[in-house]
Amino acid sequence: MFLSIPADSDFSIHNLPFGIFSTQDRSPRVGVAIGDAILDLYALAELGLFPEIDPQVFQQKTLNDLIALGKKTTSALRLDLQRWLQEDLPLLRENPTAFVPQAEATMHLPIEIGDYTDFYSSIEHATNVGKMFRDPANALLPNWRHIPVGYHGRASSVVVSGTPVQRPCGQVKGKDDLLPHFQASARLDFELETGFIIGKTTAMGQRIGTAEAGEYIFGKVLLNDWSARDIQAWEYVPLGPFLAKNFATSISPWVVTMAALEPFRIAGPVQEPAVLPYLVYEGLQNYDLNLFVELQTSQGSSTEICRSNFRYMYWNMAQQLAHHTVNGCNVRIGDLMGSGTISGPSPDSYGSMLELAWSGTQPIRLEDGSTRSFLEDGDTVTMRGYGLKDGVRVGFGAVRGQILPAIC
């Protein structure tokens, strides 16, 4: 292959994720990440490499039209690119302008999101939260082991990596307060998640079973569902998260296809008690994906504060989608489904500040000697993730966001 790809690159020949990029002289369009470069698919279409696809599909501001072509088409396109790159296709080698350095590109929100649903599918996370806020002996609510719990988020405030996040304001009520008051959130948090993108539209009344769920999932992104814990504590009873969550959700710019993640399938945890028939699944539905969270202070000091893995999830994506649609709820191309906070069994694998600092009672120490119970203004949170098996590495890049001061 004529391209030099670093051995530790997230964007190996085995990956080839899709995204939307622009440069000073190129309008937003569809690209594929390969090493440190972006392959401009519109430029390749203009060269006649995709005769069965309208070139205008690659000159759109989102991936929705490309995804709408169907997995058969997008999978064939990705496999063609792999083959052409490995075989040093002369048309690619002789047209270097089809390759754009990632450092020179601006990345955009990759999809038009009609709806966003966030699940609550890590048993470790749910147990930790239950221990902190309810009876430690009965940390999980009675329904948790029976349904993939979720809530409807706000699609309008989903932003691409690099977009700053302003500290939210809202009502809070401390345990000793007689009445709530309005203030900037003092307990701002991140949530380490992944998200999957719906790749096929259904009609109202149509259900998606676990056996066919894979047909409806186009790919995955990293996701940070920012959370204001003090606002959440006051508002979440009786209907769950609202203002504590809807101010911002960040996702990574590259959508990694499910085909690229195939080598990392593994068995999930044993689910007890047995689930209802519509949630029964076959095969390996969990994924071995290493996940990391880094916190950088406004002074520039960086500390890795979390190492987790997507393999820990109790409820898998097939079950989440089956449950989401079992009542006839329709899904649309571009809909985003969040995994919920991904926490592992050890304290260093907890996927939120709420858990890492145990609701502020055990502040974590950073490399520069400072401590954090929750996020401070100027802090930057960066999440990364990748799968690695038998020399095959497939990664997501990063999802990053810096906290800006509140305006209350």
List active site positions: 125
Q: Are 81 and 120 spatial neighbours (Cβ–Cβ below 8 Å)?
A: no
H and E: helices and strands count for the chain: 8, 26
CA distance to 9, 133, 178, 297, per residue, from 186 (Å): 37, 18, 19, 17
Query: Residue 382 CA to chain centroid, in angstroms?
Result: 12
Pairing of β 227-228 and β 150-152: unpaired
What is d(CA 312, CA 288) in angstroms, rounded to the nearest whole number?
A: 9
Q: In terms of DSSP H, where are the helices of 238-364? A: 317-325, 353-356
What is the residue whose two structure tokens read 């920012």? 226
Q: Are 339 and 318 spatial neighbours (Cβ–Cβ below 8 Å)?
A: no
Q: Where are the beta strands (DSSP E) in 177-319?
A: 181-184, 188-189, 192-198, 217-224, 227-228, 249-251, 256-257, 265-266, 286-287, 290-296, 302-309
